[in-house]
Amino acid sequence: MRWLAITLALACNTPEPQVQEAPPAETQLVLSDGARAIFERSLIRDPEPSCAELTEGIADPVSALLEVAERVQAPPRSGMRAATCLVREHASAIEPTMTRWVSERRTMGYGLLALDHLDRFPPELADRLSRAALAGDFPDAARRRIERRTIEHEEPGTLAP
């Protein structure tokens, strides 16, 4: 019957209604319970949930936040929100992850997010991340953020590798 409907629709020159259908279940993103809870809470825009509200009641918030940051594609703010909580509240615990974020092109958004928070990190951590970023895949973009965030604390350029 579907071919008949299509034929009729074409014959009548009527555009098909633009109904947005949910994709089949197998394409749904599967997350752990903790990550699923964070993802759903992260969708609210106003009032925006705090990091504490995002992770309330979750046994391993760092793992759950990392799962959201690394696996959720849409909306982009969900991953950014999770990454923000990691960068602001668990920076030392996720240093290897942040080092990868500031180094690899495919995580440039998270890398720039981390670099925009340099002035909140312990100086040694900020220095290590800055060096990794300047040696990474997007050094020009990194340099602008590093200079912007460190200009009040150090002479620009002292972080160059």
Partner 1 sequence: MRCLIALLLLAACKSEDPGEDAGTGDDAGVLGEAIRTNETSGNTGTAGELAVTVSVEEGDRSFMVVGTSEEAHLAVLAIDDPSGATILRWQDWYNERRYVTNAFWATRQATVINWPIRDIDPALVPGDYVVHLGSYRADGTTSRPDIDVDVTSLISSDQDVERGAIRVLVLWADGLGEDAALVSATEAAIAHWADVWEGADMALEVRYEQSSIDPLLPYPGGMGGPVLLEASAFAEPGEVVVIIGELVNDDPSQYGVSGQLPGPLVPSTLSAIVVGWLANAGGDGVFSDNDIQLYGEVLAHEVGHYAGLFHPVESAYDAWDALDDTPECGGQRACEDMLGTNLMFPYSIGCATGMCLSTTGITNDQRAVMQRYTGTR
Cis peptide before 47 (omega within 30 of 0): yes
Nearest distance, CB of residue 2 and partner 1, angstroms: 23
Instruction: Round the CA-based radius of gyration of the chain to a whole number and report it.
Output: 21
Q: Which is nearer to partner 1, 3 or 73 (CB)?
A: 73
Chain position carrying tokens 């964070």 = 38
Residue of 66, 63, 60, 41 whose CA lies nearest to 51: 41
Binding site for partner 1 (CB under 8 A): 20, 22-23, 27-29, 39, 42-48, 69-70, 72-81, 83-84, 106-113, 116, 138, 144, 148
**CB-wise, 11 or 47, nearer to partner 1?**
47
Determine if the peptide bond prior to 75 is cis (ω within 30°). Answer: yes
Smallest gap from residue 150 Cβ to partner 1 (A): 14
* Shortest Cβ 62–partner 1 spacing (Å): 16
